[in-house]
Structure 1
Amino acid sequence: MIDHFSFDQRLGIPLPELTGDWEEYSKETQQEILLYWEQIRGSIPDRIADLEQEINQKQEQLSNENDFPRSCQLNTDIADLASIINDLWLWYRANQTLSTKLHQ
């Protein structure tokens, strides 16, 4: 599946990277892509839970931080993690249509 997915460092998961129209792929390849995506998609909630845990740790650090520049950095880190979570949820929900094709 390396040909059809590339690892996204920011999100921490492989994302589909299809070079042609869906119909150009054989039924077998389509099925393999969908099965692989379903595995990745199933891991997204766990990835989100890990990021939420990081946010909670940083919020705890922030509540005890007296150094203003460090507080700003923690806020930036929290915002970045929240943005990643948002993007992961978008991938999780937007690609439910791919997952329904798998079951047809």
Structure 2
Amino acid sequence: MKYEFTYDERLGIELPVLHVEWDALTEAEQSRLLHDWERIRGRIPDRIMQLERSIVDKQNRLNGEDDFPASCRLNTEIAELASCITDLHLWFRADQDVSVKGHY
């Protein structure tokens, strides 16, 4: 297998993994990979909205939290979710060819 898509638990989507250089793929393989990636890429906005809802929920909980360690934990969780959103934006905005070649 020259490439595959593996599920990234942190981001909640599958990401392309090339086992050979991009240029070693045939034109048909490149086309199939990009087609599959576009299908996955199309779900990124929904995943971002899901994470944003989680952030809002945690922020609301944080507003009423009096326990300092619990507040720190919520802040850490919010920061991690925000980091995931940033990474998803990068994957979403990357040019098709560049996103596959540039990350693997």
Provide the TM-score with structure 1 as the length reference: 0.86
Partner of 2:15: 15
Q: Describe how 1:20-59 pairs up with structure 2 within 5 A.
A: 20-59=20-59
Q: How far does the alpha carbon of each residue in 1:77-97 deviate from its partner, in whole angstroms, 9 at most, with x for none? A: 000000000011011112x24
Number of residue-to-residue matches in the alignment: 97
Residue in 1 that maps onto 2:102: none
1:22-70 per-position Cα deviation (integer Å, ceiling 9, x unaligned): 2211222111101100011111011000000000000000001111111
8 Å Cα contact 2:11/2:84 also seen in 1? yes
Q: What is the TM-score of this pair, normalised by structure 2?
A: 0.86
Alignment-derived partner of residue 60 in structure 2: 60
- Segments of 4+ in structure 1 off by > 2 A? 96-99
Match of 1:102?
A: none
For residue 63 of structure 1, what is the amino acid of its counterpart?
Answer: N
Tell me, in whole angstroms, the C-alpha distance in 2 between the residues paired with 1:25 and 1:82. 35
RMSD: 1.6
Moved more, 4-13 or 72-81: 4-13
Output the amino acid matched with 1:53. R
1:1-25, Cα deviation, whole Å (9 max, x unpaired):
9x42111111111111011122211
Structure 2 unmatched runs, 5+: 99-104
